[in-house]
Structure 1
């Protein structure tokens, strides 16, 4: 390469690029477009028809046409039935059969006599029709002659008065003119009246059907469908007929009264109605109760608005049917909250827990009764259990030991009320609760071995979230597990022992659990309770664990409650609550007491009780030296004098271990030693507050002098 060649300067930066080749297949402007798939005409027609049929306007139009057409047809049926009943003895025969089916012989005879009288009167009317032409002709002749004579008489009087002989025929001619004008008017009106008559009749049929509710429920306006129709015998019988039970349907069709004899009178029951249904032979109560949802839908109700149970009579189902939407209304505050002067009596009182489905107050006795309440999480279990404890705490003689294995403060307001309050979900808290239950067993045994015959103050142990204790895996130094469902479980054994003998000496235990299984709620533990209550549960098997087989077989259905909507609604089995004869369970909508109200109640309760120091764990060490005089002064409080009987009860409530077995002699000995002995006032022995304070002052003064010396 020469030097001149190397100095050649390029006049362009990049080498020339050849233009791209035109590809008609990849050019978006010239590329052939995709041909859409051809839809057959019948498919397009079907889609169009489906769109038209399912359109809301079409459905609304169909409902309107069906509704008003049903009104006309139903009205025609009603009028036809009325006409037939009015012209025949069918009504009397129907009522006679109903009375016979009900076993009311006197009423059946009365309807039979009425039917006989109706037939006799009808026969007489028909016999009178045979002579009707003769009597009508005779009446016509007599009427014509009488009318003519009367008109001539009037005309004669007019002729005399007017001195005009032509006036004799004036009344007759006037009558003829009136008849002529009447014919003219009728001729003019007859055409329009003949045209309007069918429409007026059509309107009358429509109005009759509308008032009788002849249209199907789905064709009614939305507001009427949602409201729910009143429950009538015909609605109940129709709902039973359409349950899908072939023998029942055939029996209802074969009944001459169309099934009306199956029903008892429908009575008002709270926010609904109640009726007993006596099933015909071949139909069982279990078949009807198994179709509760379908029966509710046939009655235009939701499933939770219909409650079925087995009545005491054979082959009889008792149905309670709520007014539509009534169970979603609040029931009002608890009497414990709104009555500042309310009191409680452990022995004879009943706690106002809520209202039953009839709207009556549901009162529950807690005297010497173990309790179990269970349900799914966050359905009101703790609030329902706490409401009972808050009422019972108004009795100062009741001692509470509480273990809250949730530990979020649901029971914290019982500080100063309960002697023991353990809060927390850990294994250490389970150990403390187990030791609390075992101390309850020791206290029970001490009372059982007491030979003095004294009446012991009530001791109530409450364990909330007990499934945590049953599921705890902690093991003690003796290799025995604290939790579990086996016979070696310390907590299970303590609960079992209290269930066996605790009530005899006023030691009871209440447990609250959630989502019960055989692992977290042993069979022996749940069956040892006198009161078993359940909120909403997920399955029927859980409901049987909670309440037992008999209540579920008889219609109790906590698993049919609505989770999240029926909070605080409990199904209660066992004693303690009044049940209807033959009913093993009752549904109660409990009063809800929120945290602020519970705290306010606790403050009120503490003012009525002597000061109680709440321990956060069970003291398993030896008892400390007890200052009897100071304890007596504490329980007397600010009252000038207190009966010795009340002082003993308060001392036992304050420290059962030290004072549970005290008698009057023990109290008198302690007071006499301090120079503050009891004395009589108004015929009863009392303890004086002034004497106690003087004795304490003298004792403290002597102690100070000794120390100075």
Structure 2
């Protein structure tokens, strides 16, 4: 308690309580804090609150830090892409060497027949020009116009100065001219009367050529151009903006009409290969497919041929990032694309097969292992030529078992017949039945391979799929098998064999790819009857040349391909033959101009492939003249026959003795065999020959090629086990 100023007594505890309650009422601002606030509408307060703000007035963090921005930034290549790509670099160097060679050859041919006669003809004119220039220099003729001008202006003082300067110049120059003339005369007399004949000839040639060079008119140069450059308009941002505004996309057209660009360039327009590249961000809501749908209009706006304009998406960016590439030359005018393996000795099918080039001139490849391939187009657009490239690539690997079925009957693939395990060419019922039987056999082969793959040890086959290491073990019989069915619509649409063939093909496509079985199907009629949906929906790699409409486009390239702007309908008949969309081999579908192999080139490749197979002992079936369907009479087991003639007590035996004993056992089969025949016959079974020490019939000790009987028994056991599993 204390006293107030007027003499009263104040209770301190009550005063503290009053202050606390007052503070609580001041801080409680909720609508329910008191009955008076909610009940009295005249207080000027309203129950309606303003809009809720969801954005912070000031962000807690303005953006990524410096390190994050640097880490997320895109680094430009130190070296151009063509320098880092070995094929592109080699191609550029070949082009440069060809360009230099052409230029040198062009001028070398014209030197004796055009350039030298020109120089001789112009040498008198050159002599006259030389004497005229010397005389004008000696008398200071170049200063005469200036002196005459000062005389006309009656500037006597300056005129006299110029005249005295001219007199001094002329005296000095005349002395030099006379001395030079005397020296030249002496040299001429020496060359005529005192020099060797060879020196005289050289001096005369040099003099004539020099005078001829000095006598060339300004408008008639001595040499002509070996190469005429094609002038192509440079791609600029103004040209691109105007072209994009003309293709009918509302957001871009409206922005350009308001004086804006409508699009945003995210990088400078640069050269890329034989053309220009522009990276563009499209307006919100506009996709690359919208631009690709208007490719013809875009080409018109750029004033370039349709085959030069290629709008693509950037797989590493958003759907509105457009990569516009404008080439210097129409893709259809590129000419014949040379196949990279045309001169190669062999190829590994576990590596990608060169297929062609894209519009930018970059090589495009197709992987074969673990894939199936579907090719489709209208007739005459290059479908069979594309099949031939892939078949030749497979044939160049001697470990590949090749089955070719050409159900058109024109013999387009006949050159490869010598390398095939199974082969047919025809459109008759027997040929169709042969192709259908092949699919049945392939289905059985897939089932056998699945059982064999399951039994392989995990260290040899950890991923349960065929590898190069597994394929090289011939005793496992898991080498790559490539089956080609050209004009497959004649097979799948056949009233008798078509349905079962379609079921077998679908089974093979779904299960065979991991087991080394590859199907290549080509059709010119892609519809649900001639190409079952179970097949078209499960193929991993697709190549569509020109097709008729949206349905055919999506049957080959996949559902919604047309909607997404991947349209093989845009290719022009005949003009764009060989051009198509390749999907599945790269991250995004890409336009490819396929390599072309004519009959002589295909035949040369087939002969090399045959020689490789013969050398490695991998020829089989049709290539050896065997006809599986017509096989009749008894068959013989080579391994069993060798086991019968080599007793268990003979652990090692020479191949030449095996050949002699086999000839005695079955002369109609093994007659004429020698040691090298035994080596080739045993190689497919995984039995390798080695140096074996032994005694000849004369009693001499020597070493010759032979086998170990334990290897023979092991190969027989593995073969019987695989047969039992199948």
TM-score bracket for this pair, using the shorter chain length: 0.5 to 0.7
Q: Cα gap change, 1:389/1:177 in structure 2, threshold over 3 Å: closer, same or farther?
A: same
Residues 419, 612 of structure 1: 8 Å contact kept: yes
Aligned to 2:308: 305
Q: Secondary structure at the residue paired with 2:311?
A: strand
Aligned to 2:141: none
Q: Deviations over 1:407-434 (max 9, x none)?
A: 2211111222001101110122111110
Q: Distance in 2 between matches of 1:598 and 1:590?
A: 15
Aligned to 2:601: 597
The unaligned stretches of length 5 or more in structure 2 are 1-68, 71-150, 159-229, 457-475, 643-654, 660-668, 694-702, 708-726
Q: Cα gap change, 1:641/1:540 in structure 2, threshold over 3 Å: closer, same or farther?
A: same
Aligned to 1:292: 295
Whether 1:466 aligns to 2:488 is yes
Q: Secondary structure at the residue paired with 1:395?
A: coil
1:279 to 271, 279, 282: 282
After TM superposition, the score normalised by the length of structure 2 is 0.53
Q: Distance in 2 between matches of 1:402 and 1:428?
A: 15
Q: Distance in 1 between matches of 2:633 and 2:270?
A: 62
Q: Cα gap change, 1:240/1:255 in structure 2, threshold over 3 Å: closer, same or farther?
A: same
Q: Cα gap change, 1:395/1:626 in structure 2, threshold over 3 Å: closer, same or farther?
A: farther
Aligned to 1:329: 334
Whether 1:503 aligns to 2:501 is no
Aligned to 2:182: none
Q: Cα gap change, 1:641/1:319 in structure 2, threshold over 3 Å: closer, same or farther?
A: farther
Q: Cα gap change, 1:620/1:528 in structure 2, threshold over 3 Å: closer, same or farther?
A: farther
Q: Secondary structure at the residue paired with 1:537?
A: coil
Residues 337, 356 of structure 2: 8 Å contact kept: no
Q: Distance in 2 between matches of 1:272 and 1:617?
A: 54
Aligned to 2:436: 434
Whether 1:382 aligns to 2:392 is no
Q: Secondary structure at the residue paired with 2:485?
A: strand
Q: Cα gap change, 1:368/1:455 in structure 2, threshold over 3 Å: closer, same or farther?
A: farther
Whether 1:588 aligns to 2:592 is yes
Q: Distance in 2 between matches of 1:689 and 1:558?
A: 62
Residues 446, 512 of structure 2: 8 Å contact kept: yes
The Cα of 1:359 is off from its aligned counterpart by 0.6
Aligned to 2:479: 457
Residues 396, 605 of structure 2: 8 Å contact kept: no
The Cα of 1:590 is off from its aligned counterpart by 1.0
Q: Secondary structure at the residue paired with 1:336?
A: coil
1:569 to 562, 572, 579: 579
Q: Distance in 2 between matches of 1:612 and 1:689?
A: 28
Aligned to 1:213: none
Residues 229, 300 of structure 1: 8 Å contact kept: no
The unaligned stretches of length 5 or more in structure 1 are 1-102, 105-173, 182-225, 475-481, 484-488, 652-658, 669-676, 682-687, 693-709
Q: Cα gap change, 1:418/1:557 in structure 2, threshold over 3 Å: closer, same or farther?
A: same
Q: Cα gap change, 1:413/1:285 in structure 2, threshold over 3 Å: closer, same or farther?
A: closer
Q: Cα gap change, 1:315/1:506 in structure 2, threshold over 3 Å: closer, same or farther?
A: same
| Mapping for residues 153-232 of structure 1, pairs under 5 Å | 229-232=233-236
| Mapping for residues 30-45 of structure 1, pairs under 5 Å | none
Residues 331, 359 of structure 2: 8 Å contact kept: no
Aligned to 2:409: 407
2:548 to 538, 542, 564: 538
Q: Secondary structure at the residue paired with 1:369?
A: coil
Q: Distance in 1 between matches of 2:321 and 2:390?
A: 35
Whether 1:491 aligns to 2:501 is yes
Q: Distance in 2 between matches of 1:598 and 1:286?
A: 39
Aligned to 1:529: 539
2:569 to 555, 559, 562: 559
Q: Secondary structure at the residue paired with 1:345?
A: coil
Q: Distance in 2 between matches of 1:230 and 1:275?
A: 12
Q: Distance in 2 between matches of 1:329 and 1:313?
A: 32
Q: Distance in 1 between matches of 2:434 and 2:285?
A: 58
Q: Distance in 2 between matches of 1:266 and 1:520?
A: 46
Residues 406, 426 of structure 2: 8 Å contact kept: yes
Aligned to 2:271: 268
Q: Distance in 2 between matches of 1:245 and 1:523?
A: 35
Aligned to 2:346: 343
Q: Secondary structure at the residue paired with 1:546?
A: helix
Q: Secondary structure at the residue paired with 2:251?
A: helix
Q: Distance in 2 between matches of 1:535 and 1:459?
A: 26
Q: Distance in 2 between matches of 1:368 and 1:293?
A: 37
Aligned to 1:243: 247
The Cα of 1:321 is off from its aligned counterpart by 1.7
Q: Cα gap change, 1:499/1:331 in structure 2, threshold over 3 Å: closer, same or farther?
A: same
Residues 421, 616 of structure 1: 8 Å contact kept: no
Please provide the CA RMSD for this pair: 3.9
Q: Distance in 1 between matches of 2:675 and 2:327?
A: 55
Q: Deviations over 1:650-680 (max 9, x none)?
A: 62xxxxxxx6xxxx5xx48xxxxxxxx7558
The Cα of 1:353 is off from its aligned counterpart by 1.2
